[in-house]
Amino acid sequence: MNKIVNINQILSQITDGMTIGIGGWGARRKPMSIIRAICKSDLKDLTIVTYGGPDVGLLCSAKKVKKLIFGFVSLDIIPLDSHFRKARQAGEIKELMEIDEGMLQWGLRAAAMRLPFLPTRVGFGTDVLGKNKEIKLVKSPYDDGEELIAMPAINLDVSLLHVNTADEKGNTLIYGPDPFFDDLFARAAKQTFVSAEQIIKTSEFKKAEVAVYNHFERNLVHGVFHSEGGAHPTSCDPNYGIDIAHLKEYSQASDSFDDYYKKFINISNNEYLDAVGGMSHVNSISKTIF
């Protein structure tokens, strides 16, 4: 089964009000070419679930976000995304579920396991429960009788991920040291779409060597989109690092988003790559060491 799709086919599977999970972590391996396509689409009132980076900032500035479920929104080297900050301070995000990073993972894991919730101690001693009244407690049925947080499943309509390599069957490889929870995003979603730096034939996979980089099953993938440089300005290790210079320009554009939109979003993906200096520039960005 050939799962190669174009960006319009991905967008056709997303409708207003859907809950969208976005993989990656902060300024690392975000499916930014898909995010930019959503920004210039007519989609609205989305619920976004993510360990946020510029994906959240762009979607907020483009007025696409109704609800945000998140552990943080950071550009890594730049601690806080200015576009997100502006939207939040202006009250433009109607619903917020700000939770501990571990609780977000647990909610995705519960959805991935088709469970209504998972018990955890994470969140006690914080304002999480006070700010999120929908999160309930559960008592252990065993002799200890401990009261625990029942982190509800975060079920996703669609997940959007970015990987280094994929094939037409939906096999994917993440070579970098930061796969984090992309597997949970894929398993928690009804549909998963993946952008990839390169697409190769299945016969080209050296299975014994690359199996460790295959983090989730191909049956979870509904579409593969070829997008070289598709994570820029976030990193896609080992292909390229975080484009700090571009993220600074992006950050400064929170008060002049129309200019940034015209220059970097309301154009084709190939035009975007040209605007940021071409793939030669993207591939020359040194790997970010944390």
Residue extents of the structural domains in the chain = 7-99+155-284, 117-152
> What confidence score (pLDDT) does residue 206 get?
87
> What confidence score (pLDDT) does residue 290 get?
72
Residues 6+ apart with CB under 8 A from 32: 54, 55, 58, 162, 230, 231, 232, 233, 234
Show pLDDT as tens, one digit a residue, over the chain (290 residues): 899 999 999 999 999 999 999 999 999 999 999 999 999 999 999 999 999 999 999 999 999 999 999 999 999 999 999 999 999 999 999 999 999 999 999 999 999 999 999 999 999 999 999 999 999 999 999 999 999 999 999 999 999 999 999 999 999 999 999 899 999 999 999 999 999 999 999 999 988 899 999 999 999 999 999 999 999 999 999 999 999 999 999 999 999 999 999 999 999 999 999 999 999 999 999 988 87
* Assigned fold of 7-99+155-284: Glutaconate Coenzyme A-transferase (3.40.1080)
Q: Which helix (H) or strand (E) holds 52?
A: strand 46-52
- Determine contact, residues 112/184, Cβ cutoff 8 Å: yes
